[in-house]
Amino acid sequence: MRASHILVPTLRETPADAEITSHIYMLRAGLIRQLAKGLYTWLPLGLAVLRKVENIIREELNNAGAMEVLMPVVQPAELWKESGRWDVMGPEMLRMKDRHDRDYCLSPTHEEVVTDLVRNVVVSYKQLPCNIYQINTKFRDEIRPRFGVMRAREFVMKDGYSFHLEEETFEETYRAMFNAYGSILSRIGLEYRAVEADPGSMGDGESHEFHVLAESGEDALAFSPNSDYAANVESAEAISTIDRPLPTAEIEKISTPGILTIEAVSDFLGIAPSRTVKTLIVEGSKGPVALVVRGDHTLNEAKASRLPLVKSPLTFLKEEALLRDTGVTKGSIGPIQLGIPIFVDHSASNLADFTCGANEAGFHFSNVNWGRDVDLTESVDIRNVQEGDLAADGSGLLEFKRGIEVGHIFKLGTKYSDSMGATIQDRSGKNTPFVMGCYGLGVTRIVAAIVEQHYRDETMHWPIQVAPALVHLVAVNNVKSEQVREAAFSLYSRCLDSGIEIYFDDRDERPGVKFADADLVGLPYRITIGERTLANGVVEFQSAGKEIEFLTADEAIQKLINANEGSS
C-alpha cells in the first residue's frame, strides 16, 4: 500500500462526536468514516484489519469442521412468518417492500434462512452433523447505536448454525465451537473470558458469552481467580454456604421515627446493613409478592422475574397499590405477618437475629429469626452477586472485570426446526426435528475490541496478526532526494516480493507529518529511510516501543520476514 494511492484521512484533532478509545482512534487513524448513525464505511487500513480478523475466523472454523456459505441479507417475510418471528421481532428489524408490494426484511440474523436451506437440502441423517457459517453484513436497528463500530446498526458478523439428529452430537459440536472461539480470540491476540450467560429469548439451554476484557466494556463480569468459573454479573449465580446460626436474642420492636432506608436503619441502630433485610413488593400473577434480600445486597430483576408467581417483566408495586393491597408503606416493610407470598434470597434466609421493617410506619423489629418469628417459605437466588462473594463453583472469591461481548453461542434445541417443520428421518425412519446450535461472533466489534485492548500510552500497538500492515515505511524527503526515492521504492518492491505487507508513505510531505501519522497508525514495525543514514548504507529499523536499530536493507527485510513467519 502506498500512501499516495490510498485514502488514509488521518485527523489531527479528535472528532467531537467520538467518545471511547476505539472510536476516536479508528476515526483519527483513518480506518473508518461515518455515513450516518450506526453506519460506517471501512477505509483501506480499517478494511485490512477486518479482512485479517475474518480470515483467522475462517481458518479456525474450517479446521473445526464448519463450512462457509453466504446467505442473502434481504429475506422474504414468509420465512419469518413461518417461524413466528415476523411478529415477535420489534422495530430492530428493518422491513421493506419490493415493487410487487411483497414484504421483506433486512436480516438481523439468519436462523430462518439456514433452517430453510437445511430442511430442503439435507435429506439423510448421515449428512449430519451439519455445521454452517457465514461472514456477512447484519442490520439491527438498534435503539441507540454508539461507540463507533462497537455498537453499530450495520455490522459484520460471523454467524454459524449447526444441525444434529440428537443431543450428544450437538454437545460435541458445541464444544468444538466453544474451543474454536477460544483459538480465534487467542490468535487475534485478545485477552478474553468465556462466561456462562443468560440465553435470553434465544432458548433455554446452555449458553456462553465470549468477552474481551476492557475497561470500556459494557458488561460486568464476575470470575473466580482460582478456576475457569466466569459469568456475566447479570446472570451469575449467588450462593450462600453459611449455615444459619441459632437465635441468641428475643425479638424486639423498636421505634424508628422517620427512618426509611437501610442505611438510616443501620446508622440508627449501629449495625451493619448486612444484619438487616429489605423487603420489596412486586406485582405477581395472583396479587403482590414480597422479595426479601439482605440489606447490603441488590435485587437481580432478571432472576426475580423468573419466579413462578412473579410478573415478568418485573414491576414494583406502586405506592398506592402497596398501601391498598398490603396495608404497609415504603420504608417499614418486613416479612412478618405480611400476608402475601414471600421469596427470600439465600443470604437473607441464612441470617439470624436480623432487623427488618415492622409493617407499621416508624417501627422496626430487631433480633428477628426465621422459623421462630416468621415462616421461611422459600429460599431462592434473587440477588446480584458482589465482588468478594463466593464463586458458584466454590473455588474462590469473585472478582469483577468489564468485558466487551464479542461472541455468544447458544443451544437452540428444536425451536426453529419445530416451528419451521425442519425434520430428518432417524435410523428407524421416524421424522425427528433437528437439534440446533447457534454461534455468533461480532467481526467488526472485534476490531474495535482489539483497539480498546491494545491502545496504550497514547498510541496503538497492533498485534502483528491483525495489523493493517506489518511495516510502515517512512521515506524522508523522497520527492526531492532521488537517492532516498530509489532506496525506498526498492525496499518497497522487495518487501512486496517477499510477501511482507508494507505501508509506504511516499507522499510529498514533510518528515514531521509522516512521523506523526506513523505514530498514530501504530504498525508493528517502522523503517525510516533518509539521506542521513543512507550515506552510511543503512536504514532505521524500529519495532514498536523499542530502540531504533541501524540495519542494511537486506537485514531489515530479513527481520521482517522472520516477524512474518513468527506471526503465522
* Among 68-76, 172-180, 237-245, 523-531, the segment contacting RNA (CB under 7 A): 523-531
Tell me which residues in 233-292 interact with RNA (CB under 7 A): 234
Instruction: Verify binding: residue 546, RNA, rule CB under 7 A.
Output: no
Instruction: Verify binding: residue 477, RNA, rule CB under 7 A.
Output: yes
* Among 94-102, 126-134, 489-497, 527-535, the segment contacting RNA (CB under 7 A): 527-535
Rg of the chain in Å (alpha carbons):
30
Instruction: Verify binding: residue 513, RNA, rule CB under 7 A.
Output: yes
Task: Please state, in angstroms and rounded to a whole number, the distance separating the CA atoms of residues 425 and 442.
Answer: 34
Instruction: Verify binding: residue 120, RNA, rule CB under 7 A.
Output: no
Tell me which residues in 86-115 interact with RNA (CB under 7 A): 90, 92
Instruction: Verify binding: residue 506, RNA, rule CB under 7 A.
Output: no
Instruction: Verify binding: residue 200, RNA, rule CB under 7 A.
Output: yes
Report DSSP letters for 185-250, one per residue.
Answer: HHHHT--EEEEE---GGG-SS-EEEEEEE-TT-SEEEEE-TTSS-EEETTTPPP---PPPPPP-S-
Task: Please state, in angstroms and rounded to a whole number, the distance separating the CA atoms of residues 154 and 133.
Answer: 19
| Interface with RNA (CB under 7 A), residue from 214, 391, 466, 520 | 520
Distance in Å, CB of 517 to RNA, minimum: 5
> Hey, what's the cell of 523?
504498525
Tell me which residues in 414-433 interact with RNA (CB under 7 A): none
* Among 165-173, 252-260, 264-272, 528-536, the segment contacting RNA (CB under 7 A): 528-536
At 453, is the secondary structure helix, strand, or coil?
helix
Instruction: Catalogue the long-range contacts made by 9-14 (C-beta closer than 8 Å, 24 or more residues apart).
Output: 9/33, 9/43, 10/517, 10/520, 10/521
Q: What's the gap between Cα 296 and its chain centre?
A: 28
Residues with Cβ < 8 Å from 324, sequence gap 6 or more?
none
Residue 16 or 246: the one with the smaller Cβ distance to RNA is: 16
Instruction: Verify binding: residue 529, RNA, rule CB under 7 A.
Output: yes
| Interface with RNA (CB under 7 A), residue from 2, 10, 54, 141 | 10
Tell me which residues in 17-36 interact with RNA (CB under 7 A): 17, 19, 34, 36
Residues with Cβ < 8 Å from 72, sequence gap 6 or more?
107, 113
Q: Could you give the residue ranges of the DSSP H alpha helices within 284-432?
A: 301-305, 319-326, 346-349, 415-419
Instruction: Verify binding: residue 144, RNA, rule CB under 7 A.
Output: yes
| Interface with RNA (CB under 7 A), residue from 269, 511, 555, 559 | 511
At 384, is the secondary structure helix, strand, or coil?
coil
| Interface with RNA (CB under 7 A), residue from 70, 121, 143, 246 | 143
Q: What are residue 458's DSSP bridge partners?
A: none
Positions that interact with RNA (CB under 7 A): 9-17, 19, 34, 36-38, 90, 92, 143-147, 199-202, 218-219, 234, 313, 405, 408, 476-477, 479-480, 510-513, 515-520, 528-534, 540
